[in-house]
Chains A and B, each alone.
Chain A
């Protein structure tokens, strides 16, 4: 129980040039095909054994949702097969099918029945659902009065009240508040330890690393990598880096667009920016409190009096987290000549950032700020992720180097 076997699994959607062409195809005695096959998943093979926990990574449109739908059986495969043994609980769309005018309790019955439980089974576990959801009196109020967090609480509690053989978790969980997220991850972890096979889709590398012992990377409908999470995440980084360059070029080309990501006189020009890890490899995922380096390549196009290079790290919400420049470090490039090029290394000995996503912006200017003589300002030139390293768990945007001392003192 709890195994998933995919063999040559594929899914395409039929695309007809017009509504009439489907009718024509149906009625055509010669059975001419009039549709185009639009493959969203192709030739996927894998074997997931009972008790494995597998993370699925990939960009939007890589085929993650389709794969999950094929496994849960909501969609029929166009090719190959997906053989699933065991009872599946899927947290794909939490709260889907909730009827707003019915109470939480009534909706809990419906969700349970939709998962294949009998009415008696749901009744017997209603107390447990109630305790876990912690929504109090709201359970007997119409669901339309619920916040989205409360809906998630109820839906998760119902879906996981009986330990499934296979648990499929999509990003849906991120809707809940931190307290409930923690509580639900605890339950997921406990299920995993008790032998439930876990299939976990996330954009968060840290969640995959902490929960899974294997990761599958999907890209454009096929499996690119299927191995240990570390290796897969490294590979994923490389793809992100490649895409980022493409993206940056695109943003730059669309200069007439509203979001100016690049400004300045271009008398000096930022040619490339990279983030490299301890092994000097380009990286977009860095473990907290490890060393990293921001490498900036500059081209000077005119004789300039002086040149300052600055970097700024911002969090996902756009708050400045850390910024400095070569002026403050007493490293102004004096009188750079036209045609010269420089490579500037910002060596960060200890990237003491909390887990999360951050962006790097780079500026070229004179003096201490880019207000005077702004040569080039490149906003969010790259985005990187910080995942937990070997250090004790912490929260927040920074991971301060901290030690804790506890001494027993005499009590009065």
Chain B
């Protein structure tokens, strides 16, 4: 790897390729709705349907209520979406980063461009998806008369921790996945379990004590609980709880970055 620092590719900055990155994001959206009449509207309908279904099923049909009836009739729906929508981004980003090099193997082998463009494209396009979803969720909160208030400012910080965590882990797993395809399989299994070990679909205190302590180890737990606080109780997160996931995010970003930089040369040989 000693020769790598001399290589012209390393000097191409991501910025010079912003045209490619944004073009690729745009094309990804176009490709998704190519041949459809309503086009981009579908990226609004999908999350809208999701929010409506959860609201109808849990609040109206099943009459689910949170303990102490927090948030009233819509309480459970607010709770569910507050955790599930950011989780959706987390899972999508992780899954995308996992396969980002394998799927673009052909392109990487034949064209010379900064490799870091590929994870960046995955990141931006999933972020846009989440932004649309979040906007719909905020409209929904306004409509039911439960706006999040000032605590919404904290959302960006919590999201930053989540994104750092997902990016670091995704970059690490995505790089390893090129060499051992088991990693990709493992990740999809992991994500299934992970969702159920995070208090998203249930409330944490509903768990037996023993399981609660296990769930507390999950770095996504404090993140999701912070969302619950922001959207449901309209309070700022307890910052102390976020130190653990934030440190983990930093460590994973470093690990992922090192793995990517050290192995980016070998990735091409392996694909």
Question: Which residues of A does B touch, CB under 8 Å?
Answer: 13-14, 19, 22-23, 69, 72-84, 88, 90, 92-93, 96-97, 99, 101-102, 106, 109-110, 112-114, 116-119, 121-122
Residues of chain A within 8 A (CB-CB) of B145 are none
Which residues of chain A have C-beta atoms less than 8 A from B17's C-beta? 113, 116
* Bound Cα distance from A69 to B179, whole angstroms: 21
- A74-B268, A96-B107, A101-B31 known; A109-B6 Cβ under 8 A: no
Q: Which residues of B contact A81 (CB under 8 A)?
A: 3, 6-7
- B3 touching A74, Cβ below 8 Å: no
16 further A-B pairs in the complex, CB-CB below 8 A; given A97-B107, A112-B19, A113-B23: A13-B269, A14-B266, A75-B109, A76-B264, A77-B3, A77-B7, A88-B112, A97-B106, A99-B27, A101-B31, A110-B20, A113-B24, A114-B20, A116-B20, A116-B113, A119-B22
Q: Which residue in A19, A75, A96, A117 is a CB contact (below 8 Å) of B19?
A: A117
For this complex, into which size category does the number of interface residues on chain B fall? 35 or more
How near does chain A come to B259, taking the closest CB pair, in angstroms?
11
Answer whether A110 and B31 are a contact pair too, CB < 8 Å, given A73-B7, A77-B3: no
Bound-state Cα–Cα, A263 to B213, Å: 84
Q: List 13 A-B contacts (CB under 8 A).
A: A22-B179, A69-B109, A74-B108, A74-B109, A74-B268, A81-B7, A82-B7, A92-B110, A99-B31, A101-B34, A102-B27, A102-B31, A110-B20
What's the nearest-Cβ distance from chain A to residue B77, in Å? 38
Instruction: Give the docked Cα–Cα distance between A84 and B268 (Å).
Output: 20
- List of B residues within 8 angstroms of A110 by Cβ: 20, 23-24, 27
Q: Does A84 lie within 8 Å of B109, measured CB to CB?
A: no
Q: By the criterion CB–CB under 8 Å, are B27 and A106 in contact?
A: yes
Asked whether B7 lies within 8 Å of A76 as measured between CB atoms, the reply is yes
Which residues of A sit under 8 angstroms from B20, Cβ to Cβ?
A: 110, 113-114, 116
- Residues of chain B lying within 8 A (CB to CB) of residue A69: 109
Question: Is the contact region of chain A dominated by helix, strand, or loop, or is it mixed?
Answer: mixed
Nearest 7 CB-CB pairings of A with B = A76-B265, A113-B20, A73-B9, A73-B112, A113-B19, A118-B19, A113-B23
Which residues of B lie under 8 Å from residue A122 when comparing CB positions? Answer: 19
In the assembled complex, B30 has its CB within 8 A of some CB on chain A: yes
Which B225-271 residues have C-beta < 8 A from chain A? Answer: 264-266, 268-269
Q: Which of B1-50 contact A (CB under 8 A)?
A: 1, 3-4, 6-9, 12, 16-20, 22-24, 27, 30-31, 34-35
Interface hits, B106-162 → A, CB 8 Å: 106-113
Partner of B8, one of A78, A84, A119, A121: A84
Query: Does B217 count as interface, using CB distance less than 8 angstroms?
Result: no
**Beyond A97-B107, A109-B23, A117-B19, is A74–B7 a contact (Cβ under 8 Å)?**
no
Nearest to A110 among chain B residues (CB) is B23
Interface positions of B (Cβ within 8 A of A): 1, 3-4, 6-9, 12, 16-20, 22-24, 27, 30-31, 34-35, 106-113, 179-180, 264-266, 268-269
A273 CB, nearest partner CB in chain B, Å:
42
Distance between A174 CB and nearest chain B CB, rounded to angstroms: 18
* A74 partner residues in chain B, CB cutoff 8 A: 108-112, 268
Give complex CA distance A161, B113 in Å.
Answer: 19
Q: In the bound complex, what is the Cα–Cα distance between A80 and B111 (angstroms)?
A: 21
Residues of chain A within 8 A (CB-CB) of B3 are 76-81
Beta-carbon contact of A119 and B110 below 8 Å: no
Smallest CB–CB gap between B256 and chain A, Å? Answer: 16
Are the C-beta atoms of B109 and A76 separated by less than 8 Å?
Answer: no
Q: A118 to B8: give the CA distance in the assembly, Å.
A: 19
Among B20, B113, B179, which residue has the most Cβ atoms of chain A within 10 A? B20
B179 A93 Cβ-Cβ under 8 A:
no
A96/B111 contact (C-beta < 8 A), A73-B9, A83-B6, A116-B20 known: yes
> A114 near B113 (CB under 8 angstroms)?
yes
Q: Which residues of A contact B4 (CB under 8 A)?
A: 76
**A96, B110: Cβ atoms closer than 8 Å:** yes
Q: Which residues of A contact B18 (CB under 8 A)?
A: 118
Report the separation of the CA atoms of residues A93 and B112 in the bound assembly, to the nearest whole angstrom.
12
B30: chain A residues within 8 A (beta carbon) = 102, 106
- Give chain A nearest CB distance to B11 CB in angstroms: 10
Shortest distance in angstroms between B251's beta carbon and chain A's nearest beta carbon? 19
B-chain residues with CB within 8 Å of residue A78 when the two chains form the complex = 3
Query: Is B180's CB under 8 angstroms from A19's CB?
Result: yes
- Which of these, A76, A88, A93, A99, contacts B268 with CB under 8 Å? A76
Q: Which residue of A lies closest to B9 (CB)?
A: A73
> Interface centre among B3, B31, B107, B265, by most A CB within 10 Å?
B3
The smallest beta-carbon distance between B179 and chain A, in angstroms, is 6
A23 to B182, CA, bound (A): 12
Smallest CB separation, A358 vs chain B (Å): 34
Given contacts A19-B180, A79-B3, A106-B27, contact A114 B111 (CB under 8 A): yes
B108: chain A residues within 8 A (beta carbon) = 74
